[in-house]
Chain A
Amino acid sequence: MTYGSETTEYATLVLEPPDRLRNSADRLRLVIQLEGVTKHYPRSNRPSVEDMNVFIDKGEFVFFIGPTGAGKSTIIKLLLREEIPDKGKITVGDTDVTRLRRWKTPAYRRSIGCVFQDFRLLPNRTAAENVAFALEVIGKPKSVARRVVPEVLELVGLGGKEHRYPHELSGGEQQRVAVARAFVNRPLLLLADEPTGNLDPDTSIEIMRLLDRISRTGTTILMVTHDSNIVNQMRRRVIEIENGQIVRDQARGVYG
């Protein structure tokens, strides 16, 4: 029904306007829509993302692959509204990110979880406190954190290590904390920019299992990676980017 379940190459079809591709009921299920998005950094001689069209459904698990400098992280930044596109429209859920007022950005970001290669944990807070922080900043009462945080840490397999500081945890464990923090608010969308980039293969697979479980709860996951093993094993939708443009969009794809 959706292109996510088909095995054909989709690069040409997906460039068609979305209305011709799907009926309105399907449109409601879209979590990410990039329509003609171009981003040209001021001090760069070519656009990092050029006239890109991407549509991602609720619950999809999508890999973004491509050589270094292709524009993968730029897409993540555009989705987080850390950068504003020069052209085109970005919609995440119900939010038109390109028109989002600056002061509404924090609220928008709370509907997105994100995980990075460098974990990005607060160094002076324990694992539990780092996870609780995501609840704290959105004003959830402490009682909620007391109930939810141990659950989520258990889910990511860190039960018993709640009170360790980031420097007392291994890389894989730190990344689990980061995933727990990204997931604790049950976001619509989880963005992961090379989440296994700093981890050994075994630990990488553990993290992937975790993301897979999260994906099965209905969370849309968009993951940038250079790890061909992971992509080939998971067999999810693969979008390959080169020079800021999509060169392949394949359901149940391989690294290539």
Chain B
Amino acid sequence: MRAKYVMSEVFLGLWRNISMTVAMIITMAVSLTMLGAGLLLYNQVDVIEEYYQTNLEVVVYLDRDIDQATTDQLQADLEASGYAEQVVFESKDKAYERFKDTFEESEDLVNSVDAEVLPAAFRIKMKDINDAPKLIADFQEREGVYQVTNQRDILQQVFDILGGAQRLTLIVALVQGVAALMLVANTIQVAAYSRRREVAIMKLVGAPNWFVQAPFVLEAVFAGVIGAIFAFATLIAAKFLVIDGQFKDLFSLMPPISMQSILLLLPILTGISALISAVTAWITLRFNIKV
């Protein structure tokens, strides 16, 4: 009976103030979508790091006109340096093969590049990737070496971009979150005001505080849960339409965002949203409904 009463009050309250309810849910959904995206990016950085950790190489690109003796000497020195676990020579032809593989879908790009342009290289698997700067320092200035690159530095740029995107989503989530909570507080205030007669009567009859407050708190929680579900749906849609759809090529460079980690967001977002909404509503009520 009491539960039924409370639920009907909740829906009535939300319905009576429908425009505010909708605004509240939209703001919450945007905030939570951003929060979800931020969490996914955070997770993605970990995944990428793990994915590449074992595959990272230092690549020593060779001058185009290098002779065989210098090449052999370089290889011998690299192997003797103590940093390398494995040194693999990649000829110009092989480099071109690899280039064609990587960009096989972009025929124009492949056609525009002359096989001669790509340099031969040593691909070095390091014993410890942290020693890469030392190896680079030792070999950068050697005769016949065109350039030495540490793939980790390239990866670092990817991380920087992801980190920036993550910060951006979290800032938007925070700003929208604050707006959402202000809307919650406002909605609760309006609801408490429009039901002040009922509230006064309930308190007169000696209704316990939780009984008076429950419909209002549940209103906020309900809006929070709906907001979280919308946010979740948006993230799912984003995965299928953007990441797996339109921008597939872009995202294929990194490991895919797994469905599992998105599904995990549903309970997380719902929980966070419901909890924060409830606390906000409860605090608002403490100031608005005095015993």
Contact = CB atoms under 8 A, between A and B. Distances in A.
Contact of B211 (A80, A112, A137, A142): A137
A102 interface: yes
B209 interface: yes
Interface stretch (A16-24, A40-48, A103-111, A155-163): A103-111
B203 A106 contact: yes
B88 to A, nearest CB: 75
B205 A109 contact: yes
A136 B5 contact: yes
Contact of B200 (A120, A138, A139): A120
Interface string B1-13: 1100100000000
A127 interface: no
Contact of A106 (B198, B201, B206): B206
A134 B205 contact: yes
Contact of B209 (A103, A110, A120): A103
Contact of A114 (B1, B204, B211): B204
B118 to A, nearest CB: 78
Interface in B1-48: 1-2, 5
Contacts of A106: 203, 206-209, 291
B145 to A, nearest CB: 78
B206 A108 contact: yes
Nearest to B207: A137
Contacts of A123: 197
Interface in A62-96: 80
Interface in B179-216: 197-198, 200-209, 211
B208 A120 contact: no
Given A106-B206, A134-B205, 16 more contacts: A103-B291, A105-B291, A106-B203, A106-B209, A109-B203, A109-B205, A110-B205, A120-B197, A122-B201, A123-B197, A133-B202, A133-B205, A134-B206, A137-B205, A137-B206, A139-B2
Interface of A: 80, 102-103, 105-110, 112, 114, 120-123, 133-134, 136-139, 142, 181
17 contacts: A102-B291, A105-B291, A106-B208, A107-B208, A109-B204, A109-B206, A110-B206, A114-B204, A120-B197, A121-B201, A122-B201, A123-B197, A136-B2, A137-B202, A137-B208, A139-B2, A142-B1
